[in-house]
Structure 1
């Protein structure tokens, strides 16, 4: 796995994406500490993608309802309501 500092990664971003597309993993560091990792996207068939979407939908259905609309949630977060 190759490692690049932020500035070097920024200057070579297109080249790094080409390497990741070929299957290589790239770590990006700031002051010597890893902050991000570029990994190749998984190669999924259309059927596998739909199966993954179905799994996510099932997980979403198992979560309890929030009890408020998205707009109410954003307002609550913005206004600092304790809920």
Structure 2
């Protein structure tokens, strides 16, 4: 993975974006400390809303609160 300083990233942004578009990840540093990563954009696959709702319902069936109430958890600062 390529690492470049912030100044170099600023002056060569177009070139760096071209490299990222070709699949490369680039770490940007400031005074030698990593502060950002340029990486290719990945589009998430669209899912059918009904499928998402079914997945959430299945998750909720498997993960019960065992008598705990959300309000109590919030008041206790646990959420």
Which interval holds the TM-score relative to the shorter structure? 0.5 to 0.7
1:31 corresponding residue in structure 2: 31
- Kindly indicate which of the two structures has a greater share of residues assigned to helix: 1
Aligned residues between the structures: 53
When normalised by structure 1's length, the TM-score is 0.55
Runs of 4 or more consecutive aligned structure 1 residues displaced over 4 Å after TM superposition: none
1:4 corresponding residue in structure 2: 4
Following TM superposition, by how much is the alpha carbon of 1:42 offset from its aligned partner in structure 2, in angstroms?
A: 1.4
Task: Structure 2: give runs of 5+ residues left out of the alignment.
Answer: 57-69, 71-79
Structure index of larger Rg: 2
1:18 corresponding residue in structure 2: 18
When normalised by structure 2's length, the TM-score is 0.57
Listed as ranges, the matches of 1:1-83 within 5 Å are 1-44=1-44, 48=45, 50-51=46-47, 54=49, 55=52
